[in-house]
Amino acid sequence: MVKRLLLFVPLAVSALLLQSYFWVPTFSDQVKGSEARLRQFINASTGDAQILNPVLLTDAASGDIADMVFNGLIDRDENLNYRGRLATSWEIYEEAYFVPRPGGPTAQALRERIERARAAGQPEWMRNVAKAEVIPPAEEKGSLAVPRRGQRGFDQVPFTVAYPERVKITLKEVDQDLFDRLKALLGAGAFAADPAPYLKGDLPGPARQQALAEIPLAEHNPVITFRLRKGVLFHDGREFSSRDVRFTYDAIMNPANLSPRTADYEPVKRVETPDRHTVRVTYKRLYSPAFGTWGMGMLPEHLLNEKALAEEARRLQRDPAKFTLRDSGFNRSPVGTGPFRFKEWRSDEVIRLVRFEKYWEGPAEYAEYISRIIPDALTQELAFYSGTVDSYTAGVHQVERLRKDPRFQVFSGLAFGYTYIGYNLRRAPFGDVRVRRALTMAVNTRQIQEFLLYGEAEDITGPFVKQSDHYDKSVKPLPYDPEGAERLLREAGWRKVNGVMQKDGKPLQFTLVTNHGNEVRKAIAVAVQDAWKKIGVEVKVDLVEWAVFIQKYINTLNYDAVILGWRMGLDPDLYQIWHSSQAGPGQLNFVGYSNPEADRLIIKIRQEYDLKKQVAYAHQLHRIIYADQPYTFLYVGKATGLLDRKIAIAERGPGGGTRYRKITATKTGNYTFHFNKWLKLPAVPRFEG
């Protein structure tokens, strides 16, 4: 799935839609009157979808529907490992290039030295080298966006890079340390350092400097070759092929479509389709998270190519030259390769999908997937009890009661994210790690989890998803220790005077800000305010409307401390949130965290393709960030889902028999992993296995 990295937003308060509640009869009546109801899965969504096109959507409601209609090349299995979907297999390797230094050893001489070392198998890393060769001189075209003088907008200024002979090295596996290793083997003087002789084109001064900065004289080019599944059909009967993969990539990168996924695919240098069932993707640079982006749902080229869009524009009496993918009716009536095909969308009421009988993995058990839009949480709850929807996400205050209800299956899993107190490290006293550690030690996070979240939360000590391998489970939370907190403050030069910590005659005081409308965060603010008061820290709590909170405080870096949360993906790339280069106004490292070793590890993680090495780097980063305490990590919440106990996994035997298994959750808490095998029965089945 495509990664979504978002600040938690407050839940909207919506009017009660009574007409929606009485849309279908109760479950009992349906069982008596209609066998078809057993073949329907009805979901409740708080909001309507916006656009059912995977390369354009940005909201969760649209994403939930698109995941049923479309497939990507890959996704993750129950253990979070990548598995093939529209791709059956893949190979990841690297092609690396470098320009020899003018006046130094020739490309041919350097190639021969590399080949001799490869033949000898020394040094050890040479065993990863498949071959070395000389690439003849070549020109590569590029362009820069240059601001127009005295006008708004930009002009695209072309330029050419005229490369001399280069050395190309093909590696069996990606190696981010390759050029360091080559310099040790060949000497640093073997490599060109100045790109100026190779830049051709009449560029103005600033543009020329920008172009020079972008010319790679030594280049990592990771390559992914996907082998596609044969015989996969789109819902209209057309066979899926490599043309559709290439088209999906082109649609994302076409600026006219304004795809929010463009940044995910910007590292791609080219996408090639040697045949109908092979796709080769070459990258400009090392960027290991790029592999996961191929979980993107694939679009049908034959329905959305330039000719098809022009014909649609003419039918609608629109200008074909201005008609883009965003204007197409496809976005409300999509065609994919997924287990369900689109049937109906009544805005703010219902979206209906039906089973695709020719789905490549075999048809789903449910004949229909229906999403009802029910904005009000109470109405959703009542609809679930009556059987007019089949699933419900319980509030933390309901879990204990509903867990004991014999009518329901209950599934509880940790969220992909966490809630924290973030400190503005640019401001005193937060620049002192002893103060930050003291503030954390003064907060009883277990009490917050137990009394404010009814036990539906756990400790968290670092920035990675807790269920992932990248999270270092050996890192233990700082103890709740108010006396130890006071000792740390004294070490930092603070003294308690009349119950208030002071330094140089000034009290230790600041403002804690969070968003209005989130009752849990409001309660946390009051709890930590009281905890900090006990150690002599005076804190004012400020609750502000969400948009003001983000625009006035977060984006402008105008705050002391905040209560916020992150929703994370499984991708371990933390560059935007934690790298020191991302600490400016409007960027996501708004606490101003800066640690050179953390920066180094963040880059190592996003450039490392070996999972074991990547996990090792992540554990180091986890330990560094927790030791620095730029956040007080409060908790990771749990999401609790309920299903009718009559829903089970149906296992069809080769002889026609069926056995039923209980639905179980994956290690991430996802209980819908086997959704295509779910079946609702008239009564609770006898489970096997």
In a domain, 260, yes or no: no
Across 588-617, average pLDDT = 96
Does one domain contain both 435 and 406? no
pTM exceeding the 0.75 threshold for the entire prediction: yes
Check: CB of residue 460 under 8 Å from CB of residue 636.
yes
CA 243 – CA 272 distance, rounded (Å): 9
The predicted pLDDT at position 396 comes to 84
Check: CB of residue 192 under 8 Å from CB of residue 110.
no
User: pLDDT per residue over 498-533, tens digit each?
Assistant: 999 999 999 999 999 999 888 899 999 999 999 999
Final residue belonging to a domain, choices 216, 233, 251: 216
Across 408-429, average pLDDT = 93
What 8-state DSSP symbol labels residue 425? T
Q: What are phi and psi of 119, to 5 degrees?
A: -65, -35
Does one domain contain both 524 and 470? yes
Across 18-34, average pLDDT = 41
Does one domain contain both 383 and 446? no
The predicted pLDDT at position 157 comes to 81
CA 62 – CA 85 distance, rounded (Å): 21
In a domain, 89, yes or no: no
In a domain, 109, yes or no: yes
Does one domain contain both 64 and 130? no
Does one domain contain both 496 and 634? yes
Model confidence at 25: pLDDT above 50: no
The predicted pLDDT at position 688 comes to 66
Q: How confident is the model at residue 689 (pLDDT cuts 50, 70, 90)?
A: low
Q: How confident is the model at residue 189 (pLDDT cuts 50, 70, 90)?
A: very high
Model confidence at 632: pLDDT above 90: yes
Does one domain contain both 24 and 145? no
Across 448-459, average pLDDT = 93
CA 657 – CA 118 distance, rounded (Å): 58
Give percent above pLDDT 90 in the chain. 77
Check: CB of residue 464 under 8 Å from CB of residue 623.
no
Across 170-185, average pLDDT = 96
Model confidence at 9: pLDDT above 50: no
Q: How many domains would you assign to the chain?
A: 3
The pairing of beta strand 509-515 with beta strand 538-544 = parallel
CA 283 – CA 266 distance, rounded (Å): 9
Model confidence at 6: pLDDT above 80: no
Model confidence at 443: pLDDT above 90: yes
In a domain, 274, yes or no: no
In a domain, 351, yes or no: yes
Q: How confident is the model at residue 36 (pLDDT cuts 50, 70, 90)?
A: confident
Average pLDDT of the chain is 91
The predicted pLDDT at position 34 comes to 62
Does one domain contain both 470 and 615? yes
In a domain, 357, yes or no: yes
Final residue belonging to a domain, choices 191, 216, 241: 216
The predicted pLDDT at position 23 comes to 41
User: pLDDT per residue over 324-355, tens digit each?
Assistant: 999 999 999 999 999 999 999 999 999 999 99
Which amino acid, one-letter code, is at 676?
N
Model confidence at 159: pLDDT above 60: yes
Does one domain contain both 139 and 209? yes
Enter the tokens of residue 187: 């000497």
Q: How confident is the model at residue 175 (pLDDT cuts 50, 70, 90)?
A: very high
Check: CB of residue 2 under 8 Å from CB of residue 76.
no
Model confidence at 465: pLDDT above 60: yes
Q: How confident is the model at residue 613 (pLDDT cuts 50, 70, 90)?
A: very high
User: pLDDT per residue over 85-99, tens digit each?
Assistant: 999 999 999 999 999
CATH number at residue 353: 3.40.190.10
Q: How confident is the model at residue 151 (pLDDT cuts 50, 70, 90)?
A: low
Does one domain contain both 477 and 582? yes
- The partner residues of 330 in beta bridges, in order of sequence, read none
HSE-CB for 24 with a 13 A CA cutoff: 27
Does one domain contain both 613 and 652? no
Domain range for 439 is 417-638
Across 670-681, average pLDDT = 93
Check: CB of residue 39 under 8 Å from CB of residue 366.
yes
The predicted pLDDT at position 150 comes to 67
Does one domain contain both 523 and 626? yes
Across 44-51, average pLDDT = 91
Does one domain contain both 645 and 585? no
In a domain, 242, yes or no: no
Which amino acid, one-letter code, is at 341?
R
In a domain, 395, yes or no: yes
Final residue belonging to a domain, choices 193, 216, 239: 216
User: pLDDT per residue over 59-84, tens digit each?
Assistant: 888 999 999 999 999 999 988 899 99
- The partner residues of 412 in beta bridges, in order of sequence, read 640
Q: How confident is the model at residue 5 (pLDDT cuts 50, 70, 90)?
A: very low
* Residue with the larger pLDDT of the pair 643 and 6: 643
User: pLDDT per residue over 222-251, tens digit each?
Assistant: 999 999 999 999 999 999 999 999 999 999
Model confidence at 383: pLDDT above 90: yes
